[in-house]
């Protein structure tokens, strides 16, 4: 008996969106602790772009096919799987391989689609919600009553972080790159156009010079000094990217000591299955009830069809998107 076939997106060589191609291959078989999902939709994420550009390769032994989040229907389960059965509607954080008609996902990184959400909405959840929950709430220890600054407020991560902070009782500020983006998230946060305003002095003025408790940063080196100035005593600075530069030339260590600051960061790709399972549990417990009530629903910027994958990447490359870009497979 021949294995069933499917289509998947491959990166033919390092470069622009034109280096993405659709090829035919066999449908993967789930390992003992995995579910096989027939993918209805998948989300695009910054790591996919970096992988295409050759800047963020998959770890050894993992599929080179991009795609970190999917939503669809379970069509097969591994021998040790207990939580899911064939026919379940799920979304999941993959270890790669999401740009395909079928994808295997570890059981511990799979979640039932919250009631009332479509496959497109559900496909926009895993990577961003896992990332925000792990970094802002688990590592950054953000809690109700505190103030958080989100850099890159209109990205998928940014909009998710702002919605979750609002729902969980935190005050927020966000930096964005245009007045249009300021207006786009005005209902979520106090947004600052970093190109025309100094975010440090703006926030200090708005907080009576008190600053913020937690900062989620994707910019890196250029913002370090301002970030440290803005943090209150016992403040936490969490890095999830350094799009503006990875090497800070000067760090005022005295400030870190005097204010007892914590500087940390993480990538999702470097986390093992047990760590991802813990994040998944936190989401199930604290965030899924919010989604079921219709709160924190992902902001979808645009959807594309499977054969428009190059266009989807082009849209993300512009950086103009507000929220998530999702590809519909079915």
Any idea where the domains of the chain sit in the sequence? 5-125+298-328, 129-265
Query: What value does the mean pLDDT take over residues 52-66?
Result: 92
| Residue 60's pLDDT band (cuts 50, 70, 90) | confident
Instruction: Output the furthest CA–CA distance in the chain (Å, rounded).
Output: 71
Query: What value does the mean pLDDT take over residues 244-248?
Result: 93
* 194-200, Cβ contacts within 8 angstroms, sequence gap of 24 or more: 199/149, 199/173, 199/175, 199/226, 200/226, 200/229, 200/230
pLDDT tens per residue, range 188-203: 999 999 999 999 999 9
**Alpha carbon distance 236, 264 (integer Å):** 8
Query: What value does the mean pLDDT take over residues 263-281?
Result: 95
pLDDT tens per residue, range 85-134: 999 999 999 999 999 999 999 999 999 999 999 999 999 999 999 999 99
What is this structure's pTM? 0.95
| Residue 1's pLDDT band (cuts 50, 70, 90) | low
**Alpha carbon distance 59, 136 (integer Å):** 25
CB 106 within 8 A of CB 34: yes
The CATH topology of domain 129-265 is: Rossmann fold (3.40.50)
pLDDT tens per residue, range 9-34: 999 999 999 999 999 999 999 999 99
pLDDT of residue 74: 98
Residues 6+ apart with CB under 8 A from 312: 44, 302, 304, 325, 327
pLDDT of residue 31: 98
Q: What percent of the chain has pLDDT over 90?
A: 96
**Alpha carbon distance 237, 184 (integer Å):** 25
Residues 6+ apart with CB under 8 A from 56: 47, 50, 269
pLDDT of residue 3: 80
Q: What percent of the chain has pLDDT over 70?
A: 99
Residues 6+ apart with CB under 8 A from 244: 219, 220, 221, 222, 223
Beta bridge partners of 72: 39, 90
pLDDT of residue 2: 67
CATH 3.40.50.720 holds for 5-125+298-328: no
pLDDT at residue 142 above 60?
A: yes
């Amino acid at each position: 008996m021949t294995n069933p076939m499917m289509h998947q997106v491959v990166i033919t060589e390092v470069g622009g969106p034109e280096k993405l191609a659709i090829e035919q291959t066999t449908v993967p078989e789930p390992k003992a602790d995995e579910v096989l999902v027939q993918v209805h939709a998948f989300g695009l994420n910054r790591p996919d772009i970096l992988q295409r550009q050759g800047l963020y390769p998959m770890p050894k032994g993992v599929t080179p096919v991009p795609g970190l989040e999917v939503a669809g229907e379970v069509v097969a389960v591994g021998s040790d799987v207990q939580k899911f059965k064939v026919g379940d509607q799920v979304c999941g954080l993959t270890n790669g391989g999401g740009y395909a008609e079928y994808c295997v996902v570890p059981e511990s990184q799979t979640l039932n689609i919250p009631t009332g959400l479509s496959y497109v909405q559900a496909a926009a959840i895993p990577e961003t919600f896992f990332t925000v929950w792990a970094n802002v709430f688990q590592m950054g220890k953000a809690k109700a009553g505190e103030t958080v600054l989100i850099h890159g407020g209109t990205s998928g991560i940014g909009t998710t972080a702002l919605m979750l902070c609002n729902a969980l009782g935190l005050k927020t500020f966000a930096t964005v790159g245009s007045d249009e983006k300021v207006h786009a998230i005005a209902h979520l946060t106090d947004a600052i156009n970093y190109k025309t305003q100094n975010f440090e002095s703006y926030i200090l003025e708005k907080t009576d010079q008190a600053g913020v408790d937690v900062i989620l940063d994707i910019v890196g080196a250029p913002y370090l000094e301002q970030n440290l100035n803005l943090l209150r005593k016992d403040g936490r600075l969490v890095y999830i990217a350094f799009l503006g530069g990875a090497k800070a030339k000067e760090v005022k260590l005295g400030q870190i000591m005097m204010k007892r600051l914590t500087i940390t960061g993480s990538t999702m790709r470097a986390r093992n299955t047990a760590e991802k399972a813990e994040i998944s549990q936190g989401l199930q417990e604290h965030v899924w009830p919010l989604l079921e009530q219709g709160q924190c629903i992902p902001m979808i910027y645009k959807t594309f069809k499977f054969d428009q994958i190059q266009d989807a990447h082009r849209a993300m490359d512009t950086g103009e998107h507000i929220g998530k870009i999702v590809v519909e497979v079915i």
